[in-house]
Amino acid sequence: MAAVPELCDQLMEYSENDELFYTNDVPDKIKVNKCSHCYENRVTIKKLEIRKPEKSVHLFKKVKVLVTVVKKRGFNNQCFFKDDDLLTLVPVKENIAFRQEEIQEAPKTRFLYNLTTEHAIRDTKMRSLKLEGNNFIVVTFLEGENAQLEVKIIVNTYLEQNLENNKRPVSLGIVGQKLYLSCTAEGIADQVPTLTEVDNIKEKKTDSDLLPFIFYSRQDGSHCSFESAAFPGYYLSASQDEGEKLQLRQTSDVLVREFRLTPQLN
C-alpha cells in the first residue's frame, strides 16, 4: 500500500506582496480505488491549487490585530472622549462690530456723456469768435497777426433717449480755458450766453447741474445751429454788425444763428 504524506508536512503559506494563498487541499479521507482486475491499490491525492482570496490579506490582518488590541486593553466598555472634549467645537456667541450704511442710488440723468472733440468755429459770413477777457465772446473778422486770437471750441457730445434724429446734445467749452457756455436766467435777460468756469464738466451728472450747459445741435448741410436745452427756442446767434457779442436770441430775431465747424461735427 502506497505511503500517504502526513498533513502536517504540507504547509500553508501566503505572500504579502501578491496577496495570494498557496494551499494544499488534502481530503480528510483518502480515496482508495480498488480494482478487481488489478492487484495494485491506487491512492488519489489532489494537486496544489492557487486561489485569490475574496478580501485583501492586509485588511484581514489589520482587523485581526485591532480586535486583539481592543480585547487585551479592555476598551469594550470605555469611551474614547467625553462631552467636555466637544466644547471646542460648539460655536461661541460674541459681539461683532458693524456699521449701518445707507444705500444711495446714483443720480439719474437724461444725458449720457459720449465723446469730446475740438473744432474751429465760424459763422456763415466766415467771421471768427474772439474771447474778450473772461466775460464774453465777440464775433469778428480776424486777419494777419490777429488770427491767433481766434477761439476754438471743445464739443462734448452726449446721448439722450427718445431724441429727434436731427438733434444732438452737446456742451461747448473754450480750448485752453476752463470756460463753458451756459444759459441762465440772467443771460436770457441780457441776451448773451454766460461764460462759466468749470474744472471738469464730466463730473456734472444731475440734470440740474448739467442742463444749463447743454445745447441741441442741429445739422443742416455743412452748417449747424445750437439751441438752449434749458430755454427752448433760444439759439446762439451772431449780429449782422461787426464785432458784436455772441448772443442768445429767439428764432424770430433776424440774426445769424448758423455756424460752421471744422472739422464737421459727426
**pLDDT digit string, tens, across residues 4-59:** 555 444 444 444 444 444 444 444 444 444 444 444 445 454 455 556 555 555 55
Angstrom distances, CA of residue 182 to CA of 90, 96, 235: 67, 52, 12
Partners of 260 in the β-ladder: 122
**Element (DSSP H or E) covering residue 189:** helix 185-190
Q: Return the number of other C-beta atoms located less than 10 Å from residue 107's C-beta.
A: 10
Q: What is the dihedral of CA 162, 166, 168, 173, to 10 degrees?
A: -160
Structural domains of the chain ordered from first start: 10-77 (no CATH), 112-262 (2.80.10.50)
More confident residue, 187 or 90: 187
Partners of 200 in the β-ladder: none
Residues 6 or more apart in contact with residue 19 via CB below 8 angstroms: 52, 53, 56, 57, 58
- For all residues of the chain together, what is the average pLDDT? 76
Inform me whether the pLDDT recorded for 121 exceeds 60.
yes
pLDDT of residue 253: 72
pLDDT digits (tens, 9 = 90+) for 235-251: 999 999 999 999 999 97
Is pTM, for the whole model, over 0.75? no
C-alpha to C-alpha distance for 92 and 87, rounded to whole angstroms: 9
pLDDT digits (tens, 9 = 90+) for 134-146: 889 999 999 999 9
